[in-house]
Amino acid sequence: MWQVMAEQPSNHQAKPQQSNQATTEDILTIFKRRGLFDSLRKSLFTDFKESPTHESLIAAIESLVESDSSATLATRNRGKAAALLEGSVNRSEAFGNVNKYIDEHVSTRNEELRRKIEDMVRQINTELRTTTHQKDIKKPETNGDAE
């Protein structure tokens, strides 16, 4: 029993040295909690909604609904009607145009988006380093012998 206890590292030995560098997980957690990914996604979606591609998608969906053989969609429950409509839209030319728009739009804004994300990550990292540094300053020095 004493041998097992002697082999276990003490608390100050088990924990790696804390550095002022934030881990990827820390940054990712804060990035998500602050909704930064969602804000980027919403920005791209707003751009899409203002594009002619969005207008043509809406027109194509309206056309699909109107051309539906009599009242097939109307006679189905909402879930089934939505699934049928989604399948029709996915097979339509309009959906292909949306994918093409996304590819082109993101690739033309690639550098801008990359810089924006890097700035956000850099800011989070700086905040984490500052917070960690302030905690280290406030923490009293201990030698690990007290219990």
What is the tens place of the pLDDT at every residue in 59-76?
A: 888 887 777 654 566 666
Q: Is the pLDDT of residue 58 over 80?
A: yes
Backbone angles phi, psi at 79, to 5 degrees: -60, -45
Residue 22 CB-density burial (10 A; 0-12 exposed, 13-18 middle, 19+ buried): buried
The DSSP secondary structure of 25-62, one letter per residue, reads: HHHHHHHHHTTHHHHHHHHHHHHHHTSHHHHHHHHHHH
- pLDDT at position 111 is 92
Q: pLDDT tens digits, residue range 74-112?
A: 666 778 877 888 888 888 888 889 989 999 988 898 899
Q: pLDDT tens digits, residue range 118-139?
A: 999 999 988 888 876 666 566 5
Tell me which of 141 and 119 has the higher pLDDT.
Answer: 119
Q: Give domain limits for the chain.
A: 37-132
- Amino acid, res. 119: D
